[in-house]
Structure 1
């Protein structure tokens, strides 16, 4: 499977149909992809986001520590609550009921944000489990949503945070460091 890095895209339409044009780093990369394409075969392009930065993760924990001190809560509990609010960071699996305890324990052992909650299945002998992924797996969009949600809670509690402009600058720096911006 051929993979190339794309830094811009545009589309155009003509009598042959709609075209997706992707800008790659070199003519050689473009030729390599075109050489592999076979007439009549369908291909799928996938958008891959870069991982979140450690600076963003550190700032999220600073804010969660402030919230925890304000409300007299555990920062890890705040983290878990916030993770459950982020779209796209959970899955639901159906497994044999006899395996559920081991599965949930193993999943949760991966880290603070790796959570598993059981609920009944309509299948006999099975149980459904909602699993959440920890922020170490988040892309920049998911991490941005997490930080924004935590910062909003801080503002509601009148806890000082970065200004929206500073938050945007932080996000921009981590995107640049990841080669996204």
Structure 2
């Protein structure tokens, strides 16, 4: 169940969020599951602007063209582009957990061992998938891919078309 709201109420020391009536049947299924001993998982986040499907589709179309020219796989190119133009964070993990942590990220690069407070860990540079990006972050990724395409002689949309796609992306969330 997923819905948008601006209503948050406080009652008996708890926060309550009203669930819209149109989700009634989904809510009934959840109530039935809880009555059978199931546990619900609830996640509340701040709504972020969604990128335009056109901008996302364009990114993947460009990656497909690059893959054709370079005789490679567009999914592999996507990971390379994330490493060049994407958003990342640095984390330090126990040596025995490195492979499991790397498997959880779209791309992760081992930077090497570090010692903090006498404890040795491995520093990783971990890249977020583009589905988590805001407009500015996605713009950087898309512009990087466009520059790479131009370098390979692949035709790209005009700057005006690109601006229009990214502007539409910014308006989608209102």
TM-score bracket, shorter-length normalisation: 0.5 to 0.7
What are the residue-to-residue correspondences of 1:146-157 with 2, within 5 Å? 146-157=141-152
1:139-164 per-residue CA deviation (whole Å, 9 max, x = no partner) reads: 00111111111111222222111111
Q: Which residue of 1 aligns with 2:98?
A: 100
> What is residue 30 of structure 2 aligned with on the other side?
none
Q: For residue 49 of structure 1, report the CA deviation from its aligned partner.
A: 6.0
Cα distance in 2, alignment partners of residues 162 and 152 from structure 1? 11
What's the CA shift string for 1:79-114, capped at 9, x where partnerless? 111111226x11111111112122222x14xxxxx1
Count of equivalent residues: 126
TM-score of the two chains, using structure 2 as the length reference: 0.66
Residue 156 of structure 2 is matched in structure 1 by 161
1:8-157 equivalences under 5 Å are 50-86=49-85, 89-105=87-103, 107-108=104-105, 114-123=106-115, 124-157=119-152
More helix per residue: 2
Local SS of the residue matching 1:122: strand
Question: Using the alignment, how far apart are the partners of 1:149 and 1:86 within structure 2?
Answer: 6
User: What is the TM-score of this pair, normalised by structure 1?
Assistant: 0.63
State the alpha-carbon separation in 1 of the partners of residues 168 and 157 from structure 2: 14
Contact 2:49–2:172 at 8 Å: present in 1 too? no
When the two chains are superposed, the root-mean-square deviation of aligned CA atoms in Å is: 1.9
Contact 2:88 2:126 in 1 (8 A): yes
Q: CA shift at 1:132, angstroms? A: 0.4
Structure 1 gaps of 5+ residues are: 5-47, 109-113
Contact 2:81 2:141 in 1 (8 A): yes
- Residue number in structure 1 paired with 2:34: none
Unaligned runs of 5+ in 2: 1-5, 7-46
How far is 1:122 from its partner? Answer: 2.5
Alignment partners' CA distance in 2, 1:116 and 1:80: 9
